[in-house]
């Protein structure tokens, strides 16, 4: 009887070994109803603790309830530095509008005449709005001589026929007045009024390619009155004086020499 009892455990052990060899790999005994395996229970407990620490609207699993460290490190820096509305700042455009140029001091917007450039005079010009350029000429010789640069020989161009109602005061400037011929080649005419056309003191006046017409008016007027020491009047190429009927002792030109000093002079060239 004893040998049989001793053989029973051995047979049971051999049967278990044979059974184990026949089972598929990874097989585990099924847990009884209502029971969970130890690994599953641990995972459930870990998930529950994480859910209790998270705030609504935050990613789970973060120590402070916010974005996990590994995710935060991968965010775009531009997104983090964007404005309050979440939009990334726009880069500066290459086509940005250039600043408006500063407004000049000219009331009428005309460009300044280049210093030393010729001054233009026309019957269609304006002493108020003109700047003396060809595009915006002045209206009178008096205004042109007044605006002429001192210290250098000023050029005044007469573009068409004019009426000389007021005297152009040359003073001590050096001025050349020349006419611009029309399409037929005729020189422009300046018709004198009741006053002298020019007055010269210590400066000089030269007329070229222009007609000074007295209109046969019997008045005490002159083409020019030269009064200063060293002052001069020159009738240059193409200058013509006609129809002069001055009243008084002088004719078309009056020259007054200062006593005891060198006389002023006139010349025709």
State the pLDDT confidence band at 108, using cuts at 50, 70 and 90.
very low
Which of the two residues, 62 and 256, has the higher pLDDT score?
256
Residue 215 falls inside a structural domain: yes
Residue that is written with structure tokens 């209790």 in the block: 52
User: Which of these, 171, 256, 197, 221, lies nearest to 264 by C-alpha position?
Assistant: 256
For residues 246 and 216, the answer to whether their CB atoms sit within 8 Å is no
Which of the two residues, 114 and 198, has the higher pLDDT score?
198
**pLDDT attached to residue 230:** 87
State the pLDDT confidence band at 200, using cuts at 50, 70 and 90.
very high
10 Å CB burial of residue 58 (0-12, 13-18, 19+) is: middle
Give the total number of structural domains in the chain.
1
CA dihedral 80, 84, 88, 93 (to 10 degrees): -140
State the pLDDT confidence band at 39, using cuts at 50, 70 and 90.
low
Give the span between the Cα atoms of 58 and 71, in whole angstroms: 13
Q: Which of 171-180, 211-220, 231-240 has the lowest mean pLDDT?
A: 211-220
Residue 98 falls inside a structural domain: no
Residue 30 falls inside a structural domain: no
Residue 136 falls inside a structural domain: yes
Separation of CA 186 from chain center: 44
State the pLDDT confidence band at 106, using cuts at 50, 70 and 90.
very low
pLDDT tens, position by position, 43-91: 555 555 554 555 555 455 445 555 555 454 454 555 444 455 555 556 6
Q: Which domain holds residue 145?
A: 119-257
What is the mean pLDDT of the segment spanning 157-186? 96
Residue 87 falls inside a structural domain: no
State the pLDDT confidence band at 119, using cuts at 50, 70 and 90.
very high
Please calculate the CA angle 234-155-192 and round it to the nearest 5 degrees: 60
**pLDDT attached to residue 50:** 53
Helix (H) or strand (E) holding 10, with range, is helix 2-22
Residue 60 falls inside a structural domain: no
Residue that is written with structure tokens 């089972």 in the block: 23
Write out the two tokens for 148: 């002429």
Residue 39 falls inside a structural domain: no
Task: Give start and end residues of each alpha helix (H) in 38-140.
Answer: 38-53, 69-72, 77-80
Residue 233 falls inside a structural domain: yes
pLDDT at residue 233 tops 80: yes
For residues 144 and 182, the answer to whether their CB atoms sit within 8 Å is no
State the pLDDT confidence band at 260, using cuts at 50, 70 and 90.
very low
Q: Helices then strands (H, E): number in the chain?
A: 5, 14
Helix (H) or strand (E) holding 233, with range, is strand 232-235
């Amino acid at each position: 009887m004893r040998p049989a009892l001793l053989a029973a455990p051995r047979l049971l052990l051999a049967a278990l070994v044979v059974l184990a060899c026949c089972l598929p790999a990874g097989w585990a005994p099924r847990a009884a109803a209502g029971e969970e395996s130890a690994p599953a229970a641990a995972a459930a407990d870990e998930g529950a603790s994480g859910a209790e620490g998270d705030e609504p609207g935050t990613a789970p699993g973060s120590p402070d309830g916010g974005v996990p460290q590994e995710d935060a490190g991968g965010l775009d820096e531009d997104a983090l530095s964007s404005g309050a509305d979440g939009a990334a700042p726009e880069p500066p455009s290459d086509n940005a509008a250039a600043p408006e140029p500063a407004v000049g001091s000219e009331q009428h917007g005309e460009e300044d005449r280049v210093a030393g450039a010729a001054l233009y005079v026309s019957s269609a010009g304006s002493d108020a709005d003109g700047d003396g350029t060809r595009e915006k000429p002045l209206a009178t010789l008096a205004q042109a001589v007044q605006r002429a640069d001192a210290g250098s020989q000023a050029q005044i161009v007469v573009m068409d026929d004019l009426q000389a109602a007021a005297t152009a005061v040359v003073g001590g400037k050096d001025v050349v007045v020349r006419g611009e011929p029309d399409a037929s080649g005729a020189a422009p005419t300046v018709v004198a009024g009741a006053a002298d056309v020019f007055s010269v003191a210590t400066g000089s006046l030269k007329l070229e390619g222009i007609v000074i017409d007295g209109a046969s008016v019997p008045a005490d007027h002159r083409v020019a009155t030269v009064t200063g020491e060293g002052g001069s009047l020159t009738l240059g190429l193409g200058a013509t004086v006609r129809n002069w009927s001055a009243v008084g002792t002088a004719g078309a030109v009056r020259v007054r020499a200062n006593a005891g000093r060198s006389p002023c002079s006139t010349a025709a060239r």
